[in-house]
Amino acid sequence: MANLFNWTKISCSDLLYKECKKDTNIGKKIIADLNNKSYAKDEYVIDLIKKEIAECEREHKSWILEGFPRTKF
Prediction pTM value: 0.82
Looking at the 3D structure of the chain, how many domains does it have?
A: 1
Q: Does residue 71 lie in a domain region?
A: no
Domain extent for 47? 2-66
Which tens digits make up the pLDDT trace of 1-23? Answer: 888 888 999 999 999 999 999 98
Q: Interhelix angle for 12-22 vs 42-58, to 10°?
A: 100
Q: Does residue 72 lie in a domain region?
A: no
In 19-66 the beta strands, taken as DSSP E runs, fall at 63-66
pLDDT at 73 over 90: no
C-alpha distances in Å from residue 6, one per residue of 20, 49, 50, 55, 61: 28, 19, 20, 16, 9
Q: Does residue 50 lie in a domain region?
A: yes
What is d(CA 2, CA 42) in angstroms, rounded to the nearest whole number? 24
Which tens digits make up the pLDDT trace of 16-68? Answer: 999 999 989 999 999 999 999 888 888 999 999 999 999 999 999 999 999 88
Which of 49, 47, 55, 52 shows the shortest CA–CA distance to 67? 49
